[in-house]
Amino acid sequence: MSTEKYQVANAVCSWIDSINNWAGKVSSYVVWLLVLMMSYEVVSRYLFNAPTVWSGELCQYGMCFASLLGGGYALIKDQHVRVDIVFRYFNFKTRAVLELATWWVVVIFLLVLIWKGGELTIDAYLGDERSMTLLELPMFYSLSLVPLGSALLLIQVIARMVRNVLNLLMGQEEYNLVDSHF
């Protein structure tokens, strides 16, 4: 593989990383917002005996946001759950081959999530579905996180697969799969 093609593939992977790094950063801010909202709820409920009607639902939506949009970032940092009792002792070639052999299952799962999540989102938008709480928030917003987060994770999986192929073609671990900065 020519170095020009390698550089283009590497640039596209870096661009995907930057998208998911941004989504991870936004998700981290949402987690801080969740901490503040829950702290406010605890103080108002137990100190002033005046619970809020909005904090529970907004915290649920915030958790959905942070977990679904943070999936690609977690993959960049190699933080997804994996049984790596043996995996970590393999050399980079064996790890790359094992990942390439198993990631197709993840790709299929994410494509189904995008497809079905997209259908649910469109149905909720067209049907003006609302939550069954006092806030009656439109369900469209929270349901749209499923296909969006799945798409972000999918492009990060593809970038990871490309890097594994590049590492195998180069014969050395040219590109470290775990990015150490944020």
112-155 pLDDT per residue, tens: 999 999 999 999 999 999 998 888 899 999 999 999 999 999 99
User: Which residues lie across from 138 on neighbouring strands?
Assistant: 130
Query: Does any domain span residue 157?
Result: yes
Percentage of the chain lying above the pLDDT 90 cut? 60
Q: Is the dihedral of CA 55, 57, 63, 68 positive or negative?
A: negative
φ, ψ for residue 131, nearest 5 deg:
-70, 155
Q: How many domains in the chain?
A: 1
Query: Does any domain span residue 177?
Result: no
* pLDDT at residue 39, as a whole number: 94
* pLDDT at residue 20, as a whole number: 96
CA–CA distance, 120 with 140 (Å, rounded to integer): 8
CA–CA distance, 35 with 63 (Å, rounded to integer): 11
Query: Does any domain span residue 126?
Result: yes
Query: Does any domain span residue 175?
Result: no
Give the residue-averaged pLDDT of 46-62: 90
Residue with tokens 């939506």: 61
Domain range for 57: 3-170
Which helix (H) or strand (E) segment holds residue 72: the answer is helix 71-76
Q: Is the dihedral of CA 66, 68, 70, 71 positive or negative?
A: positive
Query: Does any domain span residue 110?
Result: yes
Residue with tokens 């079905």: 116
| Count of Cβ atoms closer than 10 Å to residue 152 Cβ | 24
Band of pLDDT at residue 177, cut at 50, 70 and 90: low
Asked whether the beta carbons of 87 and 98 are under 8 A apart, the reply is yes
Q: Which two tokens stand for residue 34?
A: 């969740």
Query: Does any domain span residue 144?
Result: yes
Query: Does any domain span residue 176?
Result: no
Query: Does any domain span residue 60?
Result: yes
Q: Which of 33-37, 72-76, 88-92, 140-144 has the lowest mean pLDDT?
A: 88-92
Asked whether the beta carbons of 84 and 92 are under 8 A apart, the reply is no
* pLDDT at residue 2, as a whole number: 66
pTM: 0.85
φ, ψ for residue 119, nearest 5 deg:
-60, -45
When comparing pLDDT for 95 and 66, which is higher? Answer: 66
